Structure formats: structure tokens, C-alpha cells
Amino acid sequence: MSFDFLLSWTPILLIMVLAVGFKRQALEMACWGTLYTAALVLTWFQTPATIVALALLDGVLTNLPLLLVIYSGMLLSGLLLETGSLARVAAWFAGLTRNPWHNVLLIAVGAGNFMEGAGIVAEPIIAPMLQAAGVPGTGAAALSIAGYAGLMILELGGAILTVLALVTGLEAVGLAHDVALLSLPAALLMTYSIPWLLGRGSDFAIRWLPLTAVGLLAGGGALFAAHYVGGSIAGLLGGITVITGLSLVGTYRWTLTPQLLRDMAPLLLLVVCLFAVNLFAPLKQLATRTWPLAVSIVPGHIVRLQPLFSAYTYISLAYLTALAVTPDRSGAWANFRATNRRAWRPVTAMALFGAAGQVIAYSGYQGDFTTVDPTRNIALILANGVVAASGRFYPLFAPLIGWVGTFLTGYGTASIVLFGKLHVTTAERVGVSPSLLASGMAVGSAVGSISSPLKIALAAPMCGAQGREGEILRRTIPLGIAVCLALGVILWLLLGQLGG
């Protein structure tokens, strides 16, 4: 085992130690993690300073749409919490189910997958809704990610599936089937983790039946859609299946008062707008082509900003709508000032995590970013090292490699870009199905969202858990690793049953 391989793990280990051992906040973890990663890439992996500097800037620019989502989401959730709107909406959701546990499952798994499937970033809405439903802030932040993480590759209107197909060169329909097959146990395992994430692991013994039902509804609905409708709406249908199933065993209190309609107006506007620009081809084409802005800091990597196709525009519009229906303007102004005082820390932390991820992605690049030394690229060193160490048992670790990519970069899509093609060549080396192996890695990258410091930094300020990110990560990091190892066993068995 090479020293380079061991060193490549140290950015991950540093974040783990800061989160688990020293209980540091997201901003401090981001500062130390970015400084250490940049120094490691500059010195040991001998990447030119200009490459590192441009990668840092590219990371911030690449994350700009997400940073705007964080800021606008904090404004919206803060105002809706201040006015009591979210509490009333959460209470209405509670009327659709029999008990508080069903309500939590409906919001986290049902609404979470519904929104992510429609292209809506779930955390700014789901986290405060869970908090309003009585879930503690740290639990609300974790559940706002865990609820959709198992099905994430099948969401965002099929965009992530498209990236997976392009990177691997494999046929998209077959990939959708394999991803959906592995996403079912992933969704079930993530649903099983909900009591643990709430600090009530002992409740599993009495909650296993509804947890099993909800996990199977989500994963089964997505699997059905991938096979018979289309992978692009599989995650969306998984969420709808959960909402429908829990409503059918509920109490059917569907009363909509004028006050409740005012409370829902900003959220309904947000959902309608994002549905419209994601699912209707003419509107999608108009939104993507109106006021586009293309910026490139790193040669060959173009960051495209599309305001009318981006969630931050419609979250901001929802915030303005919430302002318009709020009678207490002085209270709204005070809430705006208070939110701005809180916002800079998570926004800065997210920017730094994104910057560190790009430094890792571009480690080992030389000159004008056209050549890369694979012996100096951290992502390739990690993946190749695991392949060399595990041999024919590599499928056991493929989901964990996906998890590592998401942990390092903050994005499942980035993990797929880093490791997708590698899994096709590895499958040929060990004699297994390239589609299943690449799908296993991709589903692992989705599960990695629950352990991503960047994702936790996005969710925590939405539900009053800012400053407690380390506390959340102490639960979500081992959870993500355990789920990926379990998925690795399932993947290995599937490959064996299918004869490779």
C-alpha cells in the first residue's frame, strides 16, 4: 500500500476528526479542511500554485447557485417560521396521517423525494417543516437529507442519470434499471436509519413495520417507474407513492382555510414554478435560454448560470410572496436583519467546502489543465488503490468509493464524474457487469449525501441547527459508511447471482 494512497485519505480523516473528536462547527471544519487540502496538493502532489488557485476560485463559482439557494432558503424558512406559517402547514400535513411518526416519514421521505424528483432542493423546505413538526433541529437537518438520499440518482428530472450515462458510455435505460434495483435497498436502509438519526435508536423495535413499509413504497415506486415509465421521474414517483400510501391510512383531514392557503402560497408558488420549468419542455427551453451566463475560470470547465432555470430565483420569488402576505412588516424586517447576521457562516462554509472539492478534483493537473498525472490525482489514487487491494472483491467497496467522492466534493454528481469511467474499466478487469458496478458506485455517491459536510452545512441553518454540524456528522458519517458497506454486500451478491 503506497504512502500516496494513505495521504489521499487524510483530507477525509481531518474532517472526521474535527467533527467527531473536536466537535467543531462547519465553518471551522471548512477553513482547516481547505487549507490542509490546498497545502497537501501544492507540496506532496506537486500541483502548480496557479492550478490550485484557479481550482479554489472555480469551486466557489461552481457552488454559486447553491450558495444563492442557501441564502434565499434561509430568508424564506426564517420568515415562515417567524410568522408561524410553517407550523400551520406542518400541522396540516399531520392531519393526513395517524400519528407523529407517520407525519415525520411523510415529510422526510414522501415530500423530500417528491421535491428532489421535481428538481427542487429539498433541504431549505423539508428541514424547517420537520422542525415545525416537532423534530429537534439536528434531527431535522439530518432527515431532510436522509429522506431522499437513497433515491437521489433517480431524481432531479433524470439529470444525474444522464451524467452517469455520459461519463460511463453505457446505455441509459439499462443504467436506470440497475440504479433503481440498488436504490430500493438504499432507500429502505436510509428509512431504517431515521430513529438513529433522531437519537431514538431503541424505537426501531416498535417502529420497524411502518419504516419498512415506507422504505419499500419509496424504493418500490421508483423501481416500478424506472422499468415501466422512465428513470427521469422514478424518484418523483417514489415520493408520490409514499405520500399516497401514508394518506390512505390517515384521517383525511383535508380542510383548507383561508389562513392555511396564505401560509401555503409561497411554497405552492415555488413548487409550481419549479415543476413548470422542469417538466414542461417549452417552458424548460425558455428558462434555459433566457439570460444565460457562461463563465470559465478553469479551461474547459464552463459554469453556466441560468437564473430562470435555477431554484434560487423561485425561492426568492417565494420569499417576496411570503412578505406580501405578511401583515407585520416591521417584524419581517427584523427577521431579515437577523437572518443576514446568521447567513454568512453557512454560506462561507459551503463556499470553502466546494473550493476544497475542486482542488481535489484538479490535483495533479499541469499547465493549462489539459494534462493530468494520475499518480498525483487524489481521486484516482484512492480509487485505484482500493481496486489493487481488493481485486475480485472490489464490488464490496464500489458504493464506498462513491461515498468518498461525495464526502470530498459535496456532490454525488461530482463523485460520478470522478469515478464513473473507472468503474467501467474495473468491471472489465474483474469480469463483472459494468452497468451494475457503476450503478453501485453511483448509489453509494447518493448515500454519501447524508455524510457530506457541505450538505449538512446547507441543511443546518434552515432549522436552527447552525453551529451543531459536527454533532450531526458524528452520526451521519458512520451511518453513511455502514449503509455503503451493506450495499456493497448486496451488489456483490447480485453480481454473483447474475454471473458477473
Q: 465 lies in a domain?
A: yes
Q: Identify residue 39 by its one-letter amino acid code.
A: A
Cβ contact 167:416 at 8 Å: yes
pLDDT digits (tens, 9 = 90+) for 390-443: 878 889 999 999 998 888 777 787 788 778 877 887 887 788 899 999 999 999
pTM of the model: 0.76
Burial per residue of 37-62, b for 16 or more beta-carbon CB atoms within 10 angstroms, e otherwise: bbebbbebbebeeebbebbbebbbbb
CA end-to-end distance (rounded Å), the chain? 27
Q: Identify residue 119 by its one-letter amino acid code.
A: G
Q: 447 lies in a domain?
A: yes
Residue 433, H or E segment:
none
pLDDT value for 405: 83
Separation CA 304–CA 375 (nearest Å): 31
Q: For helices 434-447 and 412-430, what crossing angle results, to 10°?
A: 150
Distances (CA, A) of 185 to 26, 190, 191, 443: 30, 8, 10, 10
Domain range for residue 449? 3-61+354-497
Cβ contact 492:396 at 8 Å: yes
Q: 446 lies in a domain?
A: yes
Looking at the 3D structure of the chain, how many domains does it have?
1
Cα-to-chain-centroid distance, residue 283: 26
Structure confidence at residue 142 as a pLDDT band (50, 70, 90): very high
Q: 237 lies in a domain?
A: no
Q: 389 lies in a domain?
A: yes
Separation CA 71–CA 13 (nearest Å): 29
- For the chain, the average pLDDT equals 87
Structure confidence at residue 334 as a pLDDT band (50, 70, 90): very high
Structure confidence at residue 305 as a pLDDT band (50, 70, 90): confident
Q: 374 lies in a domain?
A: yes
| Residue 371 bridge partners (DSSP) | 366
Q: 90 lies in a domain?
A: no
Q: 420 lies in a domain?
A: yes
